[in-house]
Amino acid sequence: MARRLSIVIIGSGNVATHLARRLDCVHLVKQVYSRHLMNAEKLASSLSDCQGIDNAGKIIKDADLYLISVSDDSISQIAPLLKDVDGVVAHTSGSVGIEVLADAGKAQGVFYPLQTFSKHAFVDVSKVPFFIEGSSNEVSRILADVARGISDKVYFADSSQRSTLHIAAVYGCNFVNHLLDISSGILAKAGYELEVLRPLLEVTLEKAMSMPPSLAQTGPAVRRDINVIKKHLSRVSGYDREVYEVMTKSIMERRND
Amino acid sequence: MARRLSIVIIGSGNVATHLARRLDCVHLVKQVYSRHLMNAEKLASSLSDCQGIDNAGKIIKDADLYLISVSDDSISQIAPLLKDVDGVVAHTSGSVGIEVLADAGKAQGVFYPLQTFSKHAFVDVSKVPFFIEGSSNEVSRILADVARGISDKVYFADSSQRSTLHIAAVYGCNFVNHLLDISSGILAKAGYELEVLRPLLEVTLEKAMSMPPSLAQTGPAVRRDINVIKKHLSRVSGYDREVYEVMTKSIMERRND
């Protein structure tokens, strides 16, 4: 079994909470730091032996790992607080480069879980893909070991690859959710819940995973069924209509490749 | 147990195949008609006691149900072939009205499964939502009974509601698949498979089902994180870029409601 590391968590939001609880099963989360003492103490109290603090001066210097899990814009404000620590300092953001941590600790890294975390929804962390970057091979190895301790899916990604992953996730998660939002609004007008689309969505997802999604494409756009497309466009308006038009053009264009 | 009905299937494509096999477990599919005898015979041979035919003159007149499962444009060509039959004539299309069948049989209906069927992928028909319309209450009842025999989810929908469902499915299935196609292309450039997004996609889907998707929306657009949006736009081009722009505007607009 791998050595139990001592970990300090910076942040008390959704990602910090899910990671802290999971990491505490394998390692020892010794401190949670947050600007709001109540939040720090609340998360700390759910861990095995952990102190919640809101005073950066109290952060211990000798932890093995400092995990910064705060909003993207705040990472650069946290880094200087960890100037003098001994361990590895890593952030958990998909869209921020490793260089923001240049002055923090002895070694730097990124520990990015490709998942959306909510306060109350259970997430099986063992199935979350983690993308690791380190300022040296040694750091990459340490962070990958930590990730493997809590997840079955651990990959390496430099800052450019991570940015690509983040863009792909915007299309594949944020934009997909928005399509479901539009779909849900259209269904509501006819008296149906989004739930009626669940079997279709599940098959759509499975198909896209088991064959190139371009081959799995169905519907009026890929059939170039102009009559149906016109009929649909006459029944949607505003941005829903713009989305319909651009997606349809994009599907048709893709087929011209 | 409901009476075993005699059924004639018109068509031998994916929908016809999946429905015929499932219906044959509960009722008796007596004939499969296709313009191509080989296709008709192939499907018929997978059923318990069924004849494959390509000659419309051979279609029996006394079946209880004639199910037309052909391409949308072909339904109007099939209807006259069923002018003199006794039973209920129903089509399985989401985007074609019931009136196309006006001259077929004694009674008409629609039997629309909201699912995407492929030749080789298994589909659990019992979980597929069926949407029923009948030219009379009696026909609606008959078709609903048939649907309940093979699926747990049976709804009624007139032609306008069905058209709405179809539009919702274009956003929620066809367009979602296209986003996964774009996502898959972006990931490939960084050396990743779409599979890395699976846990994220599954959670996205579950969230959208358990709360209004507008509340589940995450990502740079809903955060109005212009820096990240600009960075992303600088890294995508062509229609991928147009899709990014329109979806982002649409998400921002929705939040202004």
Please indicate if any CB of chain A lies within 8 Å of the CB of B190.
Answer: yes
Q: Which residues of B touch A249 (CB under 8 A)?
A: 239, 242
Rg (CA), chain A: 22
DSSP label at residue B107: E
B241 touches chain A (CB under 8 A): no
Is there a contact between A235 and B163 if contact means CB atoms under 8 Å apart? yes
Of B95, B232, B243, the CB nearest to A247: B243
Q: Residue B84 in contact with residue B104, Cβ under 8 Å?
A: no
Q: What is the pLDDT of residue A3?
A: 84
Question: Which of B193, B218, B194 shows the shortest CA–CA distance to B204?
Answer: B218
Q: What is the pLDDT of residues B39-95, one digit of tens each?
A: 999 999 999 999 999 999 999 999 999 999 999 889 999 999 999 999 999 999 988
The pLDDT of residue A231? 92
B237 shares contact with chain A (CB less than 8 Å): no
- Is the overall model pTM greater than 0.95, yes or no? no
Cα angle A136, A141, A147 (rounded to 5 degrees) comes to 125
The residues near B40 (Cβ < 8 Å, ≥ 6 apart) are B12, B32, B33, B34, B52, B53, B54
Low-confidence ranges of chain B (pLDDT < 70): 1-2, 256-257
What does pLDDT average to in each consecutive run of 10 residues of chain A (257 residues)?
A: 88 95 96 97 96 96 97 94 95 93 94 86 89 96 97 93 94 96 94 93 92 90 91 94 96 78
**DSSP annotation string for A201-238:** HHHHHHHHHHS-HHHH--SHHHHT-HHHHHHHHTT--H
Cα–Cα distance measured from residue A179 to residue B247, given in angstroms and rounded to the nearest whole number: 9
Report the run of H or E that residue A19 belongs to, with start and end: helix A14-26
B204 touches chain A (CB under 8 A): yes
Q: Is A168 on the interface with B (CB under 8 A)?
A: yes
Q: How many residues are there in chain A?
A: 257
Neighbours of B226 (CB within 10 A): 11
> In this predicted structure, what is the pLDDT of residue B256?
64
Strand-pair partners of A8: A31, A66
Which residue spans within B86-137 are E strands per DSSP? 88-91, 107-113, 130-134
Q: How do strand A51-53 and strand A28-33 relate by DSSP bridges? A: parallel
Residues of chain B with C-beta less than 8 angstroms from the C-beta of A208: 177, 180-181, 184, 194
In the block, tokens 């190139």 appear at A212
User: What are the backbone angles phi and psi of residue A26, rounded to the nearest 5°?
Assistant: -110, -40
CA angle B152, B154, B159 (to 5 degrees): 155
Nearest by CB to B195, which of A200, A209, A228?
A: A209
CB-based contact A159:A110 (threshold 8 Å): yes
- Which residues on A lie below 8 Å from B236 (Cβ)? 167
CA dihedral B41, B26, B123, B126 (to 10 degrees): 160
The alpha carbon of residue B123 is apart from the nearest alpha carbon of chain A, in Å, by 8
| Contact between B168 and A187 using a beta-carbon 8 Å cutoff | yes
Chain B positions touching A220 (Cβ under 8 A) are: 95, 170, 174
Helices (H), B112-235: 137-150, 159-169, 176-189, 198-210, 213-216, 220-223, 226-233
Q: What is the DSSP string of A123-170?
A: --GGGS-EEEEESSHHHHHHHHHHHHHH-S-EEE--HHHHHHHHHHHI
How close A159 gets to chain B, by Cα (Å)?
Answer: 11
Q: How many CB atoms lie within 10 A of CB A235?
A: 15
Cα–Cα distance measured from residue B122 to residue B141, given in angstroms and rounded to the nearest whole number: 28
What's residue A245's pLDDT? 97
Residues A24, A57 contacting (CB under 8 angstroms): no
ipTM of the modeled complex: 0.88
- Residue A178's pLDDT is what? 97
**Spacing of C-alpha B62 from chain mean position:** 28
Give the residue from chain B lying closest to A246, CA to CA.
B243
